[in-house]
Amino acid sequence: MGLAIAHRWQIIAKQRWQMISKPSALLFQRVASRTAMAFSHCYTSLESLLKAKWQRMRPPKTPAISTHVYEVRPRADHHGVDLISDALRFGSLWYSGPNAVSNAIGFAKSFSRSHGAVIRVCDAAGNVIATREHKGDFKEP
């Protein structure tokens, strides 16, 4: 008889445990699914943020072979010409003297040895007088 009562109490305890643990299991599943959704949303947001930051830090590479564009313009003070280009690291270069235009064109050709170059010579009004194209001397095999 003592075994029967112990067995009965064991069954009752098991049923009560199932009743108590069942809602907590459902609650745990709900919390887990909502947490997973929140993490998924955060991960997606974080991933897009990092991609945008990475592109700002490392912009897409420009093609290895490009064409440099140079402009030779007379200076406003009428003392020589300026060689202007985005390819020049420190801004425009100033040339003066009787061979200022030819010296500026020569520098543009030599500076863009491995690239193609378009050299535009402008007058005081900004109109293009002459255009010269220079193909790079070094070619890839």
Q: What is the DSSP string of the chain?
A: -HHHHHHHHHHHHHHHHHHHHHHHHHHHHHHHHHHHHHHHHHHHHHHHHHHHHHHHHSPPPPPSS-EEEEEEEE-TTSSSEEEEESS-TTS-EEE-STTHHHHHHHHHHHHTTTSEEEEEEE-TTS-EEEEEEE--S----
Judge whether residue 2 has pLDDT over 70: no
Mean pLDDT of the chain, nearest integer? 76
Least confident of 51-65, 85-99, 125-139: 51-65
> What's the pLDDT score for residue 45?
72
The tens digit of pLDDT for each residue in 49-88 reads: 777 777 676 655 655 557 788 899 998 888 899 998 888 8
- Give the contacts of 83 (CB within 8 A, at least 6 positions apart): 70, 71, 72, 92, 93, 94, 95, 104, 107, 108
Question: What pLDDT does residue 25 have?
Answer: 62
pLDDT at 118 > cutoff 80: yes
Percent of the chain with pLDDT over 70: 63
